[in-house]
């Protein structure tokens, strides 16, 4: 299973268009890449061709200010993400970008749940859980806690 197949599955199950689904998956993969570095994320990406490219394309730490929804809240989230450093900042920036994409919290949770299910199918539950366990607060935001 590759990243495009995961995007197609999320799009079909959650009812999102392809562009929004690709951005959502890329943001989540990018959070994994920054937050779970050294905990099996390389192995996860190796088993999901295209996931690493997607994570880099939607890098939550690149141009953090440009990717937020703007306004006071977006600026505060971005500043907080930058101030906390890469690991915590990636999660905050990623969540800010997901919120600014126009998705409801329910849609974000549905997309995250389907992405994790597909990752488990592609890479196995052990690798997927190892990555998720290294980003416990993300699990809560994706409705997986």
Rounded Cα–Cα distance for residues 21 and 72 (Å):
26
- The CA–CA distances, whole Å, from 81 to 12, 59, 87, 93 equal 32, 13, 9, 6
Average pLDDT, the chain: 83
Q: Can you list the alpha helix ranges (DSSP code H) found in the chain?
A: 3-14, 18-35, 41-47, 51-57, 64-67, 71-83, 86-100, 105-123, 125-133, 136-141
> Residue 18 — very low, low, confident or very high, per pLDDT cuts 50/70/90?
very high
pLDDT at position 83 is 44
Average pLDDT estimate for 57-78: 60
pLDDT at position 84 over 50 = no
Residue 70 backbone class (left: φ over 0; alpha: ψ -120 to 50; beta: rest): left
Which residue has better confidence, 76 or 125? 125
Domain coordinates in residue numbering, the chain: 3-141
């Amino acid at each position: 299973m590759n990243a495009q197949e995961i995007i197609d599955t999320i799009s079909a199950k959650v009812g999102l268009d392809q562009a929004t689904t690709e951005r959502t998956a890329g943001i989540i993969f990018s959070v994994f890449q920054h937050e779970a570095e050294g905990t099996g994320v390389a192995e996860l990406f190796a088993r999901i061709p295209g996931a690493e490219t997607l994570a880099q394309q939607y890098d939550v730490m690149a141009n953090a200010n440009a990717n937020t929804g703007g306004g006071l809240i977006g600026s505060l989230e971005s500043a907080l993400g930058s101030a906390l450093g890469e690991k915590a900042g990636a999660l905050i920036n990623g969540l800010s970008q997901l919120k600014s994409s126009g998705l409801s919290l329910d849609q974000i949770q549905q997309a995250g749940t389907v992405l994790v299910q597909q990752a488990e199918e592609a890479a196995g539950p052990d690798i997927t859980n190892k990555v998720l366990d290294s980003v416990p607060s993300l699990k809560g935001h994706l409705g997986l806690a």
